[in-house]
């Protein structure tokens, strides 16, 4: 691929996130949107603003448009593995929305196929691009906090019947997978990115407000140890009334303490580190606004930038498929503890 060629994308799944991908691709000077695919009609998805061929079947799209370079998989979680593998079998690079899949085994199948076909799988973990995330990554990697003693992640969001609707994939065991997969995998990714893998997992789980809306828990208190030393916990809930409360990470190290908070881990609320002066950070993009609810940072433009720069040999990918697998595997191990409580 030459430096002057445009990279040609197709979107599979045209919900809120799929349209966000389509917008970013349409605006980028080095990319071209070739097609959109969704099982629903163009009118039902609201994709009428995009003047590109519209397909109802992914296989048909791949067969009729061999010029596609990259397929962006933006469908319900439980469809990611099958569709990523299908795109890879047609020798397309893949951008996969979080989570990469709903099991470690499915992630392994994606990675195996990518290696076999010599193609790249880009994970979508856009919160890594927020200025507080970039800053704390530098602080941790430089060892400025010293040995890490404690890490606490709090995720308290609202997801009520405005989000979970009867007959929708959201809330189902097979297509959604669970609160940690759909709502909070971004924050597990940040934790893994900073501190590595975890062990000695223990937890308590409950479904306070969603018994008639979902097939899984809405809240959990999970504690563990980091394999590289220190202890941590994740406290989460989607049972918060009316609107999101916070997504935060508190880090206690031998040489300092930091808290990154706000509703979407978008503000440094506390920084006290030995012999260190906190720099002025750039502005954080606002959260994705879906009308009745809000999600994580609107950083998808950085994802498309990274795909372009990686495929043109200017950089390396920001979030690789192995990192996506590790996030899924961590959630899977946490949910093993949840499932033990249900027996």
215 & 81 share domain: no
| Size (the chain), residues | 343
Last residue of a domain, one of 123, 150, 178: 123
CB 77 within 8 A of CB 182: yes
In angstroms, rounded to a whole number, what is the distance separating the alpha carbons of residues 142 and 78? 38
159 & 83 share domain: no
74 & 177 share domain: no
- Strand pairing category for 121-123 and 198-206: unpaired
Partners of 156 in the beta sheet?
Answer: 237, 246
Per-residue pLDDT at 2: 67
Q: Mind listing the pLDDT tens digit for each residue in 160-186? A: 999 999 889 999 999 999 999 999 999
Contacts of 206 (CB under 8 A, 6+ apart): 217, 218, 219, 220
Per-residue pLDDT at 53: 98
Per-residue pLDDT at 182: 97
DSSP 8-state code for residue 255 = T
Per-residue pLDDT at 237: 98
Per-residue pLDDT at 92: 98
- Strand pairing category for 231-237 and 148-156: parallel
In angstroms, rounded to a whole number, what is the distance separating the alpha carbons of residues 263 and 295? 9
CATH of the domain at 80: 3.40.50.720
Per-residue pLDDT at 299: 87
* Number of Cβ atoms within 10 Å of the Cβ of 39: 15
329 lies in some domain: no
Per-residue pLDDT at 295: 64
Q: Which tokens is 46 given? A: 């609201």
273 & 157 share domain: yes
139 & 216 share domain: yes
In angstroms, rounded to a whole number, what is the distance separating the alpha carbons of residues 311 and 303? 12
Per-residue pLDDT at 285: 78
Q: Which tokens is 209 given? A: 């407000």
188 lies in some domain: yes
What domain range includes position 212?
Answer: 127-294
Cα 83 off chain centre by: 17
The four Cα atoms 130, 265, 249, 195 give a dihedral, to 10 degrees, of -30
Q: Mind listing the pLDDT tens digit for each residue in 86-125? A: 999 999 999 999 999 999 999 999 999 999 999 999 999 9
- Tell me what percent of the chain is helix, strand and coil, each rounded to the nearest 5: 35, 25, 40
96 & 193 share domain: no
Phi, psi of 126 (to 5 degrees): -70, -15
136 & 66 share domain: no
Mapping DSSP to helix (H, G, I), strand (E, B) and coil, where does residue 22 land? helix
Per-residue pLDDT at 343: 56
For the chain, which ranges sit under pLDDT 70? 1-3, 287-297, 343
110 & 131 share domain: no
Per-residue pLDDT at 341: 87
Number of domains in the chain: 2
66 & 138 share domain: no
CB 215 within 8 A of CB 108: no
């Amino acid at each position: 691929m030459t430096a002057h060629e445009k990279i040609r994308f197709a979107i599979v799944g045209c919900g809120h996130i799929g349209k966000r991908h389509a917008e970013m691709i349409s605006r980028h000077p080095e990319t071209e949107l070739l097609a959109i695919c969704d099982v629903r009609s163009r009118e039902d998805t609201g994709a009428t603003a995009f003047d590109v061929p519209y397909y109802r079947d992914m296989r048909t799209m791949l067969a009729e448009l061999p010029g596609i370079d990259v397929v962006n998989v933006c469908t319900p979680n439980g469809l990611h593995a099958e569709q990523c593998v299908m795109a890879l079998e047609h020798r397309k690079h893949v951008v996969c929305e979080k989570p990469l899949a709903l099991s470690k085994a499915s992630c392994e199948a994606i990675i195996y196929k990518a290696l076999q076909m010599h193609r790249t799988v880009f994970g979508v973990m856009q919160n890594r691009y927020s200025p507080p995330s970039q800053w704390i990554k530098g602080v941790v990697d430089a060892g400025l906090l010293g040995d890490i003693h404690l890490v606490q992640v709090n995720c308290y969001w609202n997801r009520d019947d405005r989000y979970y609707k009867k007959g929708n994939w959201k809330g189902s065991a097979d297509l959604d997978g669970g609160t940690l997969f759909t709502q909070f995998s971004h924050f597990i990714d940040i934790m893994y990115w900073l501190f590595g893998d975890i062990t000695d997992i223990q937890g308590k789980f409950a479904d306070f407000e969603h018994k008639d809306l979902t097939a899984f828990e809405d809240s959990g208190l999970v504690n563990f140890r980091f394999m590289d030393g220190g202890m941590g916990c994740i406290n989460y809930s989607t049972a918060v009334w009316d609107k999101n409360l916070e997504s935060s990470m508190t880090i206690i190290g031998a040489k300092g303490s930091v808290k990154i908070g706000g509703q979407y881990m978008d503000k440094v609320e506390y920084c006290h580190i030995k012999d260190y002066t906190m720099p002025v950070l750039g502005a954080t993009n606002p959260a994705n606004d879906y009308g009745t609810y809000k999600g994580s940072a609107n950083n998808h433009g950085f994802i498309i930038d990274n795909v372009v720069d990686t495929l043109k040999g200017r950089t390396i990918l920001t979030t690789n498929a192995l990192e996506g697998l590790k996030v899924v595997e961590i959630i899977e191990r946490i949910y093993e503890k949840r499932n033990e409580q249900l027996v």
